[in-house]
Amino acid sequence: MAYNTNDSYNVVPDLQPIKRKALTFNNSTAIEYFNCRHYYKDAVYSDDNRLLVTMNGTVNLSYGESEFIVEKNQIAFLKKSTLIEYRTNYSDTEQLQTEFIIFSMGYDLVKEFSTITQLTNGSKTSEENIYVTTMQPNFATFTKSLTAYLEDETKVDDTMVKFKLLELLHSLKNSDRGLLDLFLNLRNEMRPDITVVVENNFMNPLSINQLARLAGRSLSSFRRDFVSVYNMPPSKWIRERRLKKSSEFLLNTNMKITDICYTLGFESNAHFSRLFKSQFGHPPSEHRLLM
Q: Is residue 1 part of a domain?
A: no
Which 8-state DSSP code applies to residue 118?
A: T
Among the ranges given (16-20, 156-160, 179-183, 271-275), the one the predictor scored with the smallest mean pLDDT: 16-20
**Per-residue pLDDT at 4:** 36
Query: What is the CATH classification number for the domain harbouring 26?
Result: 2.60.120.280
**Per-residue pLDDT at 76:** 95
Among the ranges given (32-41, 162-171, 222-231), the one the predictor scored with the smallest mean pLDDT: 32-41
pLDDT digits (tens, 9 = 90+) for 251-265: 998 889 988 998 888
Q: Which band of pLDDT confidence, cut at 50, 70 and 90, is reported for residue 103?
A: very high
Nearest to 32 by CA among 8, 58, 57: 8
Q: Is the distance from CB of 182 to CB of 125 less than 8 angstroms?
A: yes
Q: Is residue 222 part of a domain?
A: yes
Of 35-44, 53-62, 171-180, highest mean pLDDT? 53-62
**Per-residue pLDDT at 123:** 58
Query: What is the CATH classification number for the domain harbouring 282?
Result: 1.10.10.60
Q: Is residue 8 part of a domain?
A: no
Spatial distance between the Cα atoms of 11 and 62, rounded to a whole number of angstroms: 13
| pTM exceeding 0.85 | no
Q: Is residue 129 part of a domain?
A: yes
Answer yes or no: do 36 and 100 share one domain: yes
**Domain total of the chain:** 3
Domain that holds residue 219: 194-231
Neighbours of 155 (CB within 10 A): 9
Averaged pLDDT, 151-169: 90
Helix axes 137-144, 158-175, angle to 10 degrees: 170
**Per-residue pLDDT at 90:** 62
Q: Is the distance from CB of 15 to CB of 41 less than 8 angstroms?
A: yes
- The three-state secondary structure class of 95 is coil
Phi, psi of 30 (to 5 degrees): -110, -35
Nearest to 105 by CA among 61, 75, 127: 75
Answer yes or no: do 57 and 136 share one domain: yes
Spatial distance between the Cα atoms of 146 and 31, rounded to a whole number of angstroms: 10
